[in-house]
């Protein structure tokens, strides 16, 4: 089961992308999703395509991981693409049946949408594959910091996020262990009709809840025993520093934006 869950999986490495400041990576990933909407013709999509491919190449991570990142969303993508293809009118119409048409614009739009999905997924997969989850939590904390002015509980949210991320692998191990124990008692997970499958989840979920609550209590006690105090004045173990390479990547993204604005129709 661990084999399948790639989303949010960090792959250790020492590439340029790995070494970028997580705050920078996070913000640029969002920025990228924004500028993808600038693309509206073949040339701009081609530029974005090669830009993304180059970023993937820089990360030193095998292409297979990125393609596997697309897989869980493939039905959503296909659904959206088919909607675009069959309900867009314009240009030459090749075929039609009632409200459904197959037109030139439809096909082109479908391809654009598909590209948009794949590029966004690639870029966000790149972010999660090259950034340790805890660094990502740090980055989110740093980015949310200004919200303290409006009394948003930044530290608490960041702590919750770090704890949640920290316990994902633990919970997955636990799940696997309990699944095995129930399998040994004759439960078939993922077999039979919907009702049977739903029922087979109960012997898994209840033990998981029980152990999560126990774990939460233990963790709280351990934190209190060590005098944890959140909020103002707490120093950090991992300190994020902005490097020259971060400035350069920002410039490259600026350049990309310029190129897209210049080339778009």
Interface ranges with other proteins (CB under 8 A) = 2-3, 11, 174, 177-178, 180-188, 191, 202-203, 206-207, 210-211
Q: Which is nearer to other proteins, 82 or 206 (CB)?
A: 206
Radius of gyration of the chain (CA): 23
Smallest separation, CB 209 to other proteins (Å): 9
Q: Which is nearer to other proteins, 40 or 180 (CB)?
A: 180
- The C-alpha atoms of residue 22 and residue 135 are separated, in whole angstroms, by 6
Smallest separation, CB 29 to other proteins (Å): 22
Q: Under a CB-based contact definition with an 8 Å cutoff, are residues 59 and 130 in contact?
A: yes
Closest CA to 102 of 75, 83, 125, 119: 83
Q: Under a CB-based contact definition with an 8 Å cutoff, are residues 116 and 73 in contact?
A: no
Q: Which is nearer to other proteins, 149 or 184 (CB)?
A: 184
Q: Which residues pair with 93 in a beta bridge?
A: 103
Smallest separation, CB 76 to other proteins (Å): 25
Q: Which is nearer to other proteins, 57 or 79 (CB)?
A: 57
Burial class of residue 149 (count of CB atoms within 10 Å of its CB; 0-12, 13-18, 19+)? exposed
CA 137 to chain centroid, in Å, comes to 13
Smallest separation, CB 172 to other proteins (Å): 12
Smallest separation, CB 187 to other proteins (Å): 6
Burial class of residue 259 (count of CB atoms within 10 Å of its CB; 0-12, 13-18, 19+)? middle
Q: Which is nearer to other proteins, 14 or 232 (CB)?
A: 14
The residues, any chain, with a CB within 8 Å of residue 170's CB and separated by 6 or more, are 215
- The C-alpha atoms of residue 213 and residue 215 are separated, in whole angstroms, by 5
Q: Which is nearer to other proteins, 215 or 245 (CB)?
A: 215
Smallest separation, CB 129 to other proteins (Å): 11
């Amino acid at each position: 089961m661990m084999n399948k869950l790639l989303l949010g999986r960090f792959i250790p490495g020492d590439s340029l992308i790995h070494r970028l400041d997580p705050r920078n990576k996070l913000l640029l990933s969002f920025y990228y999703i924004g500028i993808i909407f600038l693309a509206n013709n073949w040339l701009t999509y081609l530029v974005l395509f090669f830009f993304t491919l180059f970023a993937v190449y820089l990360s030193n991570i095998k292409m297979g991981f990125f393609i596997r990142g697309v897989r869980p969303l493939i039905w959503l993508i296909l659904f959206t693409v088919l909607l675009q293809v069959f309900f867009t009118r314009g240009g030459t119409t090749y075929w039609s049946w009632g409200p459904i048409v197959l037109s030139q614009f439809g096909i082109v739009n479908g391809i654009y949408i598909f590209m948009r999905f794949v590029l966004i997924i690639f870029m966000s997969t790149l972010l999660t594959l090259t950034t340790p989850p805890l660094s990502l939590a740090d980055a989110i904390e740093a980015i949310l910091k200004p919200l303290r002015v409006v009394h948003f509980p930044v530290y608490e949210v960041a702590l919750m996020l770090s704890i949640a991320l920290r316990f994902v692998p633990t919970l997955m191990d636990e799940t696997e262990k309990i699944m095995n124990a129930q399998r040994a008692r004759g439960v078939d997970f993922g077999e039979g009709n919907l009702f049977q499958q739903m029922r087979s989840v109960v012997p898994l979920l209840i033990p998981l809840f029980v152990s999560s609550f126990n774990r939460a209590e233990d963790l709280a006690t351990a934190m209190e025993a060590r005098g944890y105090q959140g909020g103002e004045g707490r120093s950090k173990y991992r300190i994020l520093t902005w490097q020259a390479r971060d400035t350069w990547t920002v410039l490259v993204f600026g350049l990309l934006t310029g190129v897209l604005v210049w080339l778009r129709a």
